[in-house]
Structure 1
Amino acid sequence: MRFDRHIPALLFAAALIPLSAGNALAQDEGDENAGAPGEGVWRNYDFVPGSTVWFATDFTDEPVGRFPASQLEFVKGNMQIVEMEGEKVLEASTNSTFRVMLPEALPEDFTVELILKTGTPNMATYVTFTPREAGWNRFEGHYLALNRYPGIYAGGQDVATMALSRGLADEWHDVKFQQDGTYAIAYVGSDRVSNLPNANFVTGTTIDIDLAANARFPTYIKDIVVSVGLDKLYDALMESGEFTTRGILFAFDSDALLPESTPVLRDMVSTLENHPELAIVIEGHTDSVGDDAYNLDLSERRAGSVVAYLVENGIDAGRLLADGKGESEPVADNATPEGRQQNRRVVVRLQE
């Protein structure tokens, strides 16, 4: 199918995230009134998730009252799965630590995403990429601290942070961290709290997350995703003829583009503008959760939103082909949270 700019109802297989009653994921549960991509506070938003998922949590089938030991390694504290607002999340009711086990050592380009609600503004959650053996003033390299002044720290001192009056308390906050070589950025929602060109994160095969909490003011965390690979669209197309992204996001059960899609959409527009010879096929892929027919219908409605964005930003629809694949071509095991995350993707290919 080739798109014509005069066709009002354009079909476009874009970032497909299948929905079911138990499939509420960070990529697909945003507020459609949060703003449009590339506008307002999202104008300079530049976080893009890694292309290959190494780790992801899914607490849907975890028993309430137990620690999810099949997904996370318990280090210390008091943590349990609880139900909150219709979903299962991990609660810490004392100062606690758990460990994410990775398949191999982190490369120099990776991303970490999580959703967090702390007990009070001053309660901190720490993220380190090697186990901490001593106090913060003796910890080697940089680390993340998520509190009233969230961002990147070293030796117990702030390095690149931003003041948030209520910290990460009161409501859920999306936390996103990206390292590309020695350059690191961190976001809390739309706020870029860290922008550090000379980062020194010591990495290994684990990620430790320390949660400050007590019985009166517990801390909650969910939807932890670790991904690697920050390929650029044009470079990937020239090298292999295709580019995979998980960075085009939609509001829950809606075709409204989320503003977090800004960097990927912006990269698509600029690449097509700078290389008018390119003609591309965009494939949408889902995991195996939910009804395939429903997912296909939703993907078509979401497709129109993406095409509208590209056409509104000057891209000739005649250069675009779309091919919705649904769940027919998984690249990972749909039986695991990591696999389902990886299978929910968009693949951009050069037209033959």
Structure 2
Amino acid sequence: MKRIIFILSIILLMAIPAESQSLKKMGNKLKQTTSKEAEQQVNKTIDDAFNKSGDQAQTNNDKVNETASTATANTGATQELWTKYDFVPGDTVIFEDLLANEQNGEFPSKWDLKTGNVEIAELNGESVINFPSTKNSEIVPLMKEKGDYLPEKFTIEFDAYFTEFCTKFEIKLYDVVNQQKNPDLPRIIISPKDIFIYNKGKTTFDENKNYPYWQHIAISFNIRSLKIYFGEERITNIPNLGGNPSGFSILASQCHEGNAALIKNIRIAKGSMNLYDRVMTDGKFITNGIRFDVGKATLRPESMGVINQIYKLMSEHADLSFSVEGHTDSDGNEAANQKLSEERAASVKKALVEKGIAADRLSTSGLGESQPIDTNNTPEGKANNRRVEFIKI
């Protein structure tokens, strides 16, 4: 019996990668166990088999599921954790990449490469941009405008995957492929425990050591001032950045071989929303900053920046009441989009009521894909059409 278990253990261990990630990519296999490691693990497996009653060994699939649960735990944060989040994205999306229809192992189609190697990979069934080497790789978004495409007010958002304490992402606020270097614009280094801006200093914060995990990163620029958010916390607030941002570049690498550095859900938007002025001038305001899970009416945590601002507005102006209208892009079935838009409007109202706004100050309706404000032929246009409108009543 012991000999049979020994043989089966060897076969099992040869099939398990040393890194229990579900990252799958072409031409870049996960590190396998060495022969010495395999021998040690076989001995441990045999001892465990005889010392424990029943078969308690965890299968490879169990390990994958455990990693997936850990990796997505942060994105499942409830909106209660984001009650002080005050980031509001720009009015109009000028670049968005949700990595739809990308091919695993290929270079991401909406980006250009400055240096290194970047590819599409898959993590837990979702496409991601992978920086697959310990050497730095740097990419820039493919924009229609090759000159200065960042206005005096803009926001940048993306989700970053942190696998260990030394995982870092470097941001430059100019396009390293298509624009000249601007020495007045400092480099921005984002890590799991601090944000460092060259010539401006470093801000540290409590490190989440529950690696690996996704974290939402948000950058807001308003004429001169720069704010950077790490998850729900505003970490950096610089009154005068000292330079004119003109583009966006992102650089990263694996800190140690096999420990992935990934990004997804990248969005650049222009403009700045002053809710009260917009309501008084236009009788309504439009936001694409209220986000939902794909195909669902479940609010994503980063939506709380806008919802918190609306709650503040309605608390300070008791005479304001709104009709909350949900809109979708044209992807999918028209009837399903209509139903989804109604459910999303109801979710927004529910969030505001739970914060303390009287229910009778809010009505809801859904208009599906029937009233686009932009084209449905580009990702950016679809992002602008997926919106929530607050109509003063």
TM-score w.r.t. length of structure 1:
0.77
State the Cα deviation string for residues 263-295 of structure 1 (Å, max 9, x = none). 322332332343344343332110112223233
Q: Partners in 2 of 1:261 and 1:182 — Cα distance?
A: 25
SS at match of 1:141: coil
**Paired position in structure 2 for 1:210:** 251
Cα deviation, residue 163, structure 1: 4.9
Matched, 1:92 2:134: no
Instruction: Name the structure, 1 or 2, with higher relative contact order (CA <8 Å, separation 6+).
Output: 1
**SS in structure 2 at match of 1:202:** coil
Determine which structure has more spread, i.e. the larger CA radius of gyration: 2
Q: Do 1:162 and 1:194's aligned partners in 2 also have CA atoms closer than 8 Å? A: no
The equivalent residue for 1:62 is 102
Shift of 1:224: 0.7
Residues 262 and 123 (structure 1 numbering): CA distance in 2 closer, same or farther, change over 3 Å? closer
Give the gaps of 5 or more residues in structure 1: 1-28
Root-mean-square deviation (CA, aligned residues, Å) is 2.9
Cα separation, partners in 2 of 1:150 and 1:290, compared to 1, 3 Å: farther
Question: CA–CA distance in 2 between the matches of 1:60 and 1:309?
Answer: 29
- Whole-angstrom distance in 2 between the partners of 1:202 and 1:227: 16
Partner in structure 2 of residue 128 of structure 1: 172
1-structure distance, mates of 2:163, 2:360: 52
CA–CA distance in 2 between the matches of 1:248 and 1:344?
9
Deviations 1:201-234 (A, max 9, x none): 5311x21111123653332111110011121111
Q: What is aligned with 2:69?
A: none
Deviation of residue 54 (structure 1)? 0.6
| Partner residue of 1:81 out of 120, 126, 130 | 120
Structure 2 distance, partners of 1:324, 1:125, is 39
SS at match of 1:299: helix
Specify the alignment match of 2:225 in structure 1.
Answer: 183
Aligned to 2:207: 164
Match of 2:93 in 1: 53
Partner deviation per Cα, 1:45-87 (whole Å, 9 max, x = no partner): 111111110101132212222112x411111101111222112
Q: Is the 8 A contact 2:226 2:241 kept in 1?
A: yes
Q: Cα distance 1:150–1:288, how it changes in 2: closer, same or farther (>3 A)? A: farther
SS in 1 for 2:113: strand
Identity %: 32
Partner in structure 1 of residue 309 of structure 2 = 267
TM-score w.r.t. structure 2 length? Answer: 0.70
8 Å Cα contact 1:56/1:226 also seen in 2: yes
What SS class does the counterpart of residue 145 from structure 1 fall into?
A: strand
Residue type of the partner of 1:81?
I
Residue 294 (1) aligns with residue 336 (2)? yes
Deviations 1:118-156 (A, max 9, x none): 4542132111111469xxxx953333212244324014x
Alignment of 1:142 with 2:183, yes or no, is: no
Contact 2:91 2:269 (C-alpha < 8 Å) held by counterparts: yes
Distance 2:139 2:203 in 1: 25
Tell me the amino acid that sits aligned with residue 209 of structure 1.
I
SS of residue paired to 1:186: strand
Higher helix proportion, which one?
A: 2
Q: Which residue of 1 aligns with 2:48?
A: none
Q: Could you tell me which amino acid in structure 2 is paired with residue 177 of structure 1?
A: I
Where in structure 1 do 4 or more consecutive aligned residues deviate above 6 Å? 29-32
Give 5+ residue unaligned stretches, structure 2. 1-71
- 1:224 matched to 2:263? The reply is no
Provide the rounded CA distance (Å) in 2 between the counterparts of 1:123 and 1:263.
26
Aligned length: 312
Quote how far apart the aligned CAs of 1:348 are.
Answer: 1.8
